[in-house]
Amino acid sequence: MWAHYADSHKGFCIEYDIEQLALSEELWFNVSCIDQVVYSPTIPEMCLTDILSNTGVQLITKICGTKSNVWKYENESRLLYETSDIKKYNPASLKAIYFGLNMDNVLEEYLIDKLTN
């Protein structure tokens, strides 16, 4: 995770309690959940029935919920939001924050100060 997503240990990672996150009523008004990403050796085939399905869920799941087999070790779930604004969630769902080894100390102290309690 650190090598791929956190700029060589310069960033941070937030761990959520998924069950608590699901209880956040503000969250579920504008989000869909892909409980388990599908890891496949091939790109999924898109067909007309995917596009014409009532909700488009099949197509979105194929596009956003499929990754190459090389990433299978991630065992990933995904939340798909309808909007790109700031997301509100139940604070009880925040489980942990992990700071990268190379994260700027000033930023780390700032985050710790802002997230106390």
Q: What is the pLDDT of residues 56-113, one digit of tens each?
A: 677 888 888 999 999 998 888 888 877 777 777 788 888 898 998 999 999 999 999 9
Phi, psi of 78 (to 5 degrees): -140, 145
pLDDT at 25: 59
The rounded Cα 105 to chain-centroid distance in angstroms is 25
Structure tokens at 104: 């700027």
Are 31 and 74 in contact by the 8 Å Cβ rule? The answer is no
Query: pTM of the prediction?
Result: 0.65
Q: Residue 2: pLDDT band by 50, 70, 90 thresholds?
A: low
Q: Taking CA 60 as the corner, what is the angle to CA 57 and CA 64, rounded to the nearest 5 degrees?
A: 140
Residue ranges of the domains in the chain? 1-28+87-117, 31-81
The mean pLDDT of 12-19, rounded to a whole number, is: 84
- The strand pair at 38-40 and 31-34 is best described as unpaired
The rounded Cα 66 to chain-centroid distance in angstroms is 14
Instruction: Return the percentage of the chain with pLDDT > 90, whole number.
Output: 21
pLDDT at 59: 81
